Structure formats: C-alpha cells, structure tokens
Amino acid sequence: MTRLLDGIAATADAVRNSAPLLNELDANAGDGDLGVTMVTAATTVLDLIPGLAGAAPADVFKTCGTAIARAAPSTSGTLVATALLRAGRVVAEDEVATGSTVAKLLSAALTGIQERGKAEVGAKTMLDALAPAADAAASTAAAGSGVDAALSAAADAAEVGARATAGMTARHGRAGWLADRAAGHEDGGARLVAIILAAASASAAQTAPAGSA
C-alpha cells in the first residue's frame, strides 16, 4: 500500500473513532448526525482501498470522492466529496509528492468547499480550520519543506482554527438559525478537518522514507 493509501486509511479510521464527538458537536447546531454521516463516508473509503493499490493519486482522490458523494449525500458528505474530487483534478498522475503538493491539494479542496457550500471564512464552518491549514501548508512548502512538514503545519493550523470556532457566531445554514445554541461550542465541520489533517500528518510521519524532510 502506498503512503497515500496508508494516509487515507489512517484518516478514515480516525474519523470513525471520532464519531461520538462529531455527533455531539453537530447536535449543538444541527441534527447531531455528522459522526454518523462521516462513519458511512469513512467505511466506504476503507472498503475501496484494497482495489486502489497501484492507482494514480488523481484516480484515488476521484474514486473516493465519487463513492462518498453516492454513499453519504448529506451536506457534510457532499462537501467532503467535493474536496476530494477537486484534489483529484490538480494532482498530476506522475507527480512526486512534495510540500507543494500538499499545499496544492488543500487549496483545491478549500476552493471547492467554498464554491459548493457558499460559505466564507469566519462563519463558523469547516473553512475556519481548512483555510488556515491551506495557508500554513503553502508557507511551509514555500520554504522548501517536504510532505511531512507541510502536513504537520497544516494539522497544527487546523487545530487552532477548529478551537477558535468556539468563539465565533454561526452565520451559515442550519447552524446560523441556531447560533445561540451553538455559542461557545466548536463547529463540528472544523473539528472534522482538524481530525483528518492530524491523522494524515501522523501517518505521513510514521511512513516517511529514511532521510526525507
């Protein structure tokens, strides 16, 4: 299994293990089923992984995104699927992964979610973790760092961003209607992004080739 598939598997496992927390956070401003939806999405991806051995990165992202869109067609599932599909558009089949690759993938995911979700940074959504993560990865990559450093910086920034949503006022979708109830609590979508990037970063560090940056 490639490093990419290892990372996806680790991420899917982390999401499934975090389902109770995601449900709890979502209950503050939604239906309380974010964890349920993400378990469906993660399980779908895990079932796909054995058949993706040897596939090009672009095909991995596109296959996972398409499968999630079909299996978990809720708002959150659609946004995660969009992020993966956009990532699949920008990674070249023969690309050797670098810190710049991480930055490019996160930027594409961010743009896709912004366009599909019609939200903006500061509205207490997953963008409040993803946008700083994308910026951190880009800054790290610009300094010449590799995949591990870019993912680590992105994960750290996403964690800070997710925590900061507790002090924000929700202004988008159902959460916007229930802003008072959500006050003082982290946004579930932002926490989801932090969970994903933390797992991806940890997996990359564990599977890094000797001597890699």
34, HSE (Cβ side, Cα atoms, 13 Å)? 27
Query: Which residue, chain included where needed, has tokens 């890699």?
Result: 212
Closest among 165, 133, 163 to 151, alpha carbons compared: 133
pLDDT at 119: 86
Angle (deg, nearest 10), helices 188-207 and 75-90: 40
User: What is the average per-residue pLDDT within 107-120?
Assistant: 94
Q: What is the mean pLDDT of residues 129-150?
A: 97
Contact 41, 11 (CB under 8 A): no
Q: Residues 158-178: pLDDT tens digits?
A: 999 999 999 998 765 555 445
Whether the per-residue pLDDT at 183 is higher than 80: the answer is: no
Statement: residue 182 has pLDDT above 70: no
Length of the chain: 213
Mean pLDDT throughout 76-85? 96
Give the C-alpha separation, 166 to 160, whole Å: 11
- Which residue type is seen at 87? A
User: What whole-number percentage of the chain has pLDDT above 70?
Assistant: 89
Which CA distances in Å does 85 have to 27, 105, 132, 142?
28, 10, 21, 25
| Under 8 Å between Cβ of 45 and 67 | yes
Among 60-69, 123-132, 138-147, 202-211, the range scoring the smallest mean pLDDT is 202-211
pLDDT, residue 172, reads 56
